[in-house]
Amino acid sequence: MKRIVFTLIFAVAAWLNAAAENYPYRSDYLWLTVPDHADWLYQTGEKAKIEVQLYKYGIPRDCKVNYEIADDMLEADKEGSVKLNGGRATIDMGTRKTPGFRDLRLKATVDGKTYEHHIKVGFSVDKIRPYTKEPADFMDFWNKNIEDMRAVPLKYTKERADEYCTDKIDCYLVKLTLNKQKQAVYAYLFYPKNAAKGSCPVVLCPPGAGIKTIKEPLRHKYYAENGCIRMEMEIHGLDPRMSQEMFNDISKAFNGKENGYLANGIDNRDRYYMKRVYLALVRCIDLLTQLPEWDGRNVIVQGGSQGGALALVAAGLDSRVTQCIVNHPALSDMAAYSAGLTGGYPHFNRIEGMLTENNMKTMAYYDVVNFARHVKADTYMTWGYNDNTCPPTTSYAVWNTLNCPKEALLTPINEHWTSDDTEYGQMEWMLKHLK
């Protein structure tokens, strides 16, 4: 495994994306948390010590810091306080007896306001394994559903989207029909200007979680500018040209905690909402590989969070995928909470009555760790340790399950974000690994 670790200062600067402004960005207060292992990683049984620093206007503050320590995403099992001396103190986090992450959660009240921070460190992370088991008929289930989907001829409309065309790229809005019920997904297709027949790798980009428009369609225009056809898709069959107000209304009506799409139909593997979403990934690849401009070799899937999960699902389902580029995948080891372990987004433990035996049977057919077992494509995966949306425990559960050529970019300080430089670097990695 090729492991790359950003330093704290570089990672924060990239996150801020404000080259002319110092960290912290427009805040008077700055927390620094420095583990005594530079890579934030320890072996089980080994103690982790964290130096905690707090500054105001860049000047050390002496104050009381309350803290609690917990396993990743779980309830705290230890708490205490320290007094900062010269703005500094050291906290002994202890250790873990089993592989996983510990989270140090900090809170200080200064000048009448409370400021919070946290840091996670890992223990024997190479030994983290998923709780979720693969059903015996896992691939049979999915292969049968793909076969049924393909019984409906591929059908789509393609309309030029002049608002996203530039002097270097052309853009089209596609509506792709998925099944006999005429359910569909929308996507923007970005082409290099005057793309020649048989010249372009194709890149499928599924979205992050939510019911929303395709945000910033031109954000990753550099893929098309560098010779690729890129497909930015949505998963709900909603025209991305609708107003933000309409998307907000739909999301409020159909994506509340009690009726969110990620829980819709989860009591039955055949009725679960995400079934057509996963199948749509294969259908999109069907479309992309029929384009005359496709180079006939390279099929890339790329995304973050839910999009990262869907990229791994696509790579696990479709052998045409040659590269899989993933940031902090969601939908990973979701049922682990039922055993008192760290689980992944959407954190079904927070919804009463969700982690039933029947629901967890369905989850197993949709959990990313089970698709990871079938990925053969070259894979490039990025995740941060401080992520509380897609926690590092579940990212390692995926990473350690992958049995394919793979490289990791580790950014420990990152929460649920990646920098523009990191995302551009993923394209550069892709270009170097084309077939």
Q: Count the neighbouring beta carbons within 10 Å of the beta carbon of residue 320.
A: 17
- H or E element at residue 200: strand 200-205
Task: Single out the catalytic residue among 305, 332, 338, 395.
Answer: 305
Question: Which two three-digit tokens encode residue 269?
Answer: 């593997």
C-alpha distance from residue 415 to each of 59, 86, 213 (Å):
25, 28, 24
SS3 of residue 250 by DSSP: helix
Active site annotation includes 286: no
Question: Which two three-digit tokens encode residue 383?
Answer: 């995740």
Supply φ then ψ for residue 104, to 5 degrees.
-95, 115
Q: Count the neighbouring beta carbons within 10 Å of the beta carbon of residue 368.
A: 30
Supply φ then ψ for residue 3, to 5 degrees.
-115, 125
Q: Which residues are CB-neighbours of 363 under 8 A, at least 6 positions away? A: 132, 266, 334, 335, 348
Taking the CA atoms of 206, 210, 216 and 220 in sequence, report the sign of the dihedral they define: negative
- Return d(Cα 220, Cα 434) in angstroms, integer: 18
- Return d(Cα 50, Cα 84) in angstroms, integer: 13
The DSSP 8-state label assigned to residue 371 in this structure reads H
Ramachandran area for residue 164 (φ above 0: left; ψ -120 to 50: alpha; else beta): alpha
Task: Single out the catalytic residue among 117, 328, 374, 416.
Answer: 416
Active site annotation includes 419: no
- Return d(Cα 215, Cα 217) in angstroms, integer: 6
Q: How are beta strands 169-177 and 155-160 bridged, if at all?
A: antiparallel
- Return d(Cα 135, Cα 28) in angstroms, integer: 52
Active site annotation includes 167: no
Whose structure tokens read 């494509």? Answer: 377
Task: Single out the catalytic residue among 103, 367, 387, 419.
Answer: 387
Question: Which two three-digit tokens encode residue 396?
Answer: 């390692």
Closest by CA position to 144, among listed 28, 33, 270: 270
Question: Which two three-digit tokens encode residue 324?
Answer: 């899989």
Which positions are catalytic?
305, 387, 416
